[in-house]
Amino acid sequence: MSETTERSLPWKCLFCRMATGKRVLRTPLCAICWEQVNDFIWVSFVQVFFLAIGAINGLFFVVEEVLLFFVLIVIKHRVPPILGRITEVS
């Protein structure tokens, strides 16, 4: 991002600290984190469905949600891409 673009974006993303102009429920989120939060919400709906029909128990649901949150949202920006060299386009 250029310096003028960063100055025009008033907030820092809650999870990765990137400059952003987008807020979701008054929480600033960059585009990457917004996609990850969206994925987290969809998976959570699926898990709530499985919890409601009795396919999983409550403890499994809680553990899975915490792990999913950390992998999708917190760790996603901190770990370099494993396949970065392979997937680069020249």
Domain segments of the chain as ranges? 3-80
pTM of the model: 0.62
Average pLDDT over residues 33-54: 86
* Residue 45 exposed, middle or buried by CB count within 10 Å (0-12, 13-18, 19+): exposed
Give the separation between CA 33 and CA 72, rounded to whole angstroms: 9
pLDDT reading at 69 higher than 70: yes
pLDDT recorded at residue 81: 64
Q: Quickly state the pLDDT bin for 82 (edges 50, 70, 90).
A: low
